[in-house]
Structure formats: C-alpha cells, structure tokens
Amino acid sequence: MRALTLLLFLLPPAALAAGADPDLVAALRGFRSEVPPDWSYVQTTSDGQRSLEERHDATRPDFGRWSLLRKDGRPPTPAELAEYRDTRSRRSRGGTAPRLAEQIDPAEAKAVAEADERATYRCRLRPAEAGDRTADFLHATVVVHRPTRTIEAITLENEAPFRPALGIHISKLRTQLTFSLPAGEKPSLPQAVQTSVRGDAYWFKSLDADLQVTFSRYEPYPRAPTP
C-alpha cells in the first residue's frame, strides 16, 4: 500500500530571491509536511480496496508509538497485530519525509488566483536530486492563507504524459496535500494526502494506483506546566 513516496520540505536561503512574494516565501519557510513529533493522531490509509487505521502516540518511546486500530475496516486479528508490532518495532516512522519546499522556486511563482484572503500560485519544481527527471514534467499549485502565512494546500501534477525512466510511461500523476490553519497554540497540521497515478511499465504492466491518507483525532503531548 506504500504506493508512492512524496516530496516534502524546508526552504533554503537561496530561495529568498528578488521578486518573490513575501507571503509565499514566509509560508514555505515555516512549512512542515509531517505532524510534529509531540502530537498524537490517527492515520487512515486506503487504496480503495485495502485500508489501515493506525494511531501514533507521542507519549510512548520512539519505536513503540504506532499501534494498529483497524485493518480493512475491521479489528485486526491477533496474528495481524503481532506482525504489525514486529514490523513497527524495527523502524521509526519519523523524520523521513522528502523536502518539497527545497524544490519549489518562489522567485518564479506566478499568482493565478486571489480570493477570501488566499493566494494561489503556480510554481516550477527544481530536481530533488542529481539525475531526477520527474521534476521537469511537474508543476506545483500552492494555496497560501495570507493572514497567517500558512500553506493550506499543495497540488503536484504533470503537464503532459512523460517517461521518468526507461520503460515507464506516466499519463497522469496528481498528488494533493491539505493542511489546517494554526489556531492559538495549535500549529498547522496535515489533514489529507490524495494521490492518483495512471501509467504503465514496459507497455503491459499497469501502474494505475489511487491512495488516500487522512489524519484525525489530534492530541498534543501533555506537558507539565512551567514553574
């Protein structure tokens, strides 16, 4: 079910180029794609046929923070729970997200819409690393809430069909990430990630996939009051 790895982020100083919208620059600089480590939450992943509902408990040690709540819409069996615990005990889930903001070039962003205190930008993507050919075929649409300088949504999609590698043909790639607005001491938090891919490998193997990840039931880490 881990069909795709997405790109996500910190803004380098070089991106603070002349001509860049200061609200977009500030939003990218403060953007965090992952849930902060001191928040607990429920993550539900579905590809339309299978699903996993997991809980991240920020009060537990790093390798024991994840638990399986439901699998394919039902309580997991003892065997599935044992397999899940064994898998999760071997690795941490934090700090592994790619950094998309390093790819977004605010200096070349074009404002395409302005309404309800929100600005929408169309942005070019830089390659994620040497040899990365995918960025040349994609663009990012970024929605910024101006009063809080917060990114509410990022959509990545291709301009036209492309071949990122030998034998791989992608006719459609679209990923949308949405985030809440900050409120009081609650920061902007991920709400959902939706990905759709259409394509084939070597003309006979379908790469078609749809994946949705939603985040809910957020709870902050309970901290002792400062004396």
The DSSP element (H or E) to which 25 belongs, if any, is: helix 22-30
Residue type for position 206 = S
Write down the pLDDT at residue 58: 94
Write down the pLDDT at residue 125: 87
Give the burial string for 128-151 (b: 16+ CB within 10 Å, else e). eeeeeebbebbbbbbbbbbebbbb
DSSP letter for 7, please: -
Q: Greatest CA separation found in the chain?
A: 66
What pTM did the predictor assign?
A: 0.83
| Separation of alpha carbons 134 and 155, rounded Å | 15
Write down the pLDDT at residue 165: 86
Alpha-carbon dihedral of residues 76, 80, 85, 91, nearest 10 degrees? -110
Tens of pLDDT, residue by residue, the chain (227 residues): 333 333 333 334 343 444 689 999 999 999 988 999 899 999 999 999 999 999 999 999 888 899 999 999 999 999 999 999 888 866 555 544 557 887 888 888 999 999 999 999 999 888 877 777 788 899 999 999 999 999 999 999 998 999 988 899 999 999 999 999 999 989 999 999 999 999 999 988 999 999 999 999 999 987 655 45
Residue type for position 74 = R
| Separation of alpha carbons 8 and 103, rounded Å | 9
Write down the pLDDT at residue 10: 30
Chain centroid offset of residue 36 CA: 13
